[in-house]
Amino acid sequence: MRRLLPVCLLLSAVLADAQPEEWSRPFPGHRVVGNLYSVGTWDLGCFLVTSEAGHILINTGLADSTPLLRANVEALGFRFEDIRILLTMQAHYDHTAAFAEIKEITGAALWATADDAPLLADGGASDPHFRGEYPFAPVEVDRILADGEVIQLGEARLEVIETPGHTPGSVTYAMTAHENGREYRVLLANMGSMNPGLRLLEDPTYPGIAEDFAETFRRQLELEVDIWVAAHASQWGLHDKYRPGNPYDAEAFVDPEGFREQVLYYQELFEEALAAERR
Ligand SMILES: [Zn+2]
């Protein structure tokens, strides 16, 4: 059973003029599979991919999330200062706001897609939807990632799969993990959810947004996946798959059907929004 959340967390944040409490609530770090660890908060997905040559951190939480991330990384036995590369799945403040601080602490390089890099560099001012409504500390992007490229750090490998729409440069990463004598195809997937007020056709939020969403769903449905994680725990069902204290068990995260259902769910919402605009 999938938990399909019709409630948009960002919308509730706007209405309450406050962040959902789940975004800041601490949650213990834990291993997902192989060298992939979940180190975020109760709902904001942050991930650590470890290697002998240092680590890759994907996403932050809100601006004050650094101590939570650090505590999770260190409790898992890794040094926060060994983070070498910072990546984002979508340049929205609830996943990027601590990058500037973490970059300062670790000296890590931030790599991003060409279409999300400007949003990171100006702290969301150029965000075509929020237009600076949810600012975060600007952070310099050190390298532009291209679709299909493979990020390498020591033995860690992450393939870049551009999945735009939610933001102009949203991105999904694919990796392979080895455990239990088998190979797991793993996705760190940015889901194509639509924030309220996005315009797809007439006066679009950004030119080409409808084509971007359509292509994102098409590509994601073609991806091979055994285990997947996403930017919000509610999207990938973290709390159904793992409870603090559970022993490490990669099999508990195997969920290819759940991924497909969740992509289809967002695709349906997109199709409905398209139809509503055509009316
Ligand atoms: Zn977002």
What CATH code is carried by the domain that includes residue 158?
Answer: 3.60.15.10
Mean pLDDT of 88-113: 98
Give the CA distances from residue 35 to residues 47, 70, 82, 122, 170, in Å, rounded to whole numbers and listed in that order.
10, 17, 14, 32, 23
Measure 92 CA to ligand 1 centroid, in angstroms: 5
At 160 the pLDDT is 98
Measure 35 CA to ligand 1 centroid, in angstroms: 26
Helices vs. strands in the chain: H and E counts, helices first: 9, 12
Measure 183 CA to ligand 1 centroid, in angstroms: 31
Instruction: For 121-131, write each residue's pLDDT tens digit.
Output: 999 999 999 99
Measure 90 CA to ligand 1 centroid, in angstroms: 6
Measure 25 CA to ligand 1 centroid, in angstroms: 18
Is 102 in contact with 79 (CB distance < 8 Å)? Answer: no
In a domain, 227, yes or no: yes
Measure 179 CA to ligand 1 centroid, in angstroms: 32
Measure 186 CA to ligand 1 centroid, in angstroms: 21
Axis crossing angle, helix 209-222 with helix 256-278, rounded to the nearest 10: 160
Measure 77 CA to ligand 1 centroid, in angstroms: 30
Measure 33 CA to ligand 1 centroid, in angstroms: 25
**DSSP-derived pairing of the beta strands 83-87 and 109-113:** parallel
Measure 22 CA to ligand 1 centroid, in angstroms: 15
Q: How many CA atoms lie within 13 A of 184 on its CB side?
A: 25
Measure 181 CA to ligand 1 centroid, in angstroms: 36
| Range(s) of the domain holding residue 178 | 25-278
- pLDDT of 6 higher than 50: no
Q: Please give the mean pLDDT across all residues of the chain.
A: 94
Mean pLDDT of 203-217: 98
What is the percent of the chain where pLDDT is above 90? 92
Helix, strand or coil for residue 143? Answer: strand
In a domain, 16, yes or no: no
Instruction: For 142-192, write each residue's pLDDT tens digit.
Output: 999 999 999 999 999 999 999 999 999 999 999 999 998 999 999 999 999
Measure 17 CA to ligand 1 centroid, in angstroms: 16
Measure 166 CA to ligand 1 centroid, in angstroms: 6
Mean pLDDT of 225-232: 98
Mean pLDDT of 240-252: 97
Q: How far apart are the first and last CA of the chain?
A: 33
At 19 the pLDDT is 86
- pLDDT of 3 higher than 90: no
Is 250 in contact with 32 (CB distance < 8 Å)? Answer: yes
Reading the block at residue 198, the tokens are 């996005």
In a domain, 10, yes or no: no
- pLDDT of 265 higher than 80: yes
Reading the block at residue 128, the tokens are 């075509």
In a domain, 131, yes or no: yes
At 10 the pLDDT is 52
Give the strand order in the sheet containing 143-145: 30-33, 36-38, 47-49, 55-58, 83-87, 109-113, 143-145
Measure 34 CA to ligand 1 centroid, in angstroms: 27
Beta partners for residue 187, in sequence order? 174, 228
Rounded to two decimals, the pTM is 0.94
Measure 246 CA to ligand 1 centroid, in angstroms: 29
- pLDDT of 1 higher than 70: no
- pLDDT of 12 higher than 90: no
> Which protein residues have a CB closer than 5 Å to ligand 1 (ion)?
92
In a domain, 11, yes or no: no
Instruction: For 63-86, write each residue's pLDDT tens digit.
Output: 999 999 999 999 999 999 999 999
Measure 191 CA to ligand 1 centroid, in angstroms: 9
In a domain, 8, yes or no: no
At 266 the pLDDT is 98
Q: In whole angstroms, what is the distance from residue 23 CA to residue 39 CA?
A: 13
Assign 254 a pLDDT band (cuts: 50, 70, 90).
very high
Measure 151 CA to ligand 1 centroid, in angstroms: 23
Number of domains forming the structure of the chain: 1
At 17 the pLDDT is 53
Measure 267 CA to ligand 1 centroid, in angstroms: 16
Q: In whole angstroms, what is the distance from residue 110 CA to residue 86 CA?
A: 5
In a domain, 92, yes or no: yes
- pLDDT of 132 higher than 50: yes
In a domain, 105, yes or no: yes
**DSSP-derived pairing of the beta strands 171-179 and 156-162:** antiparallel
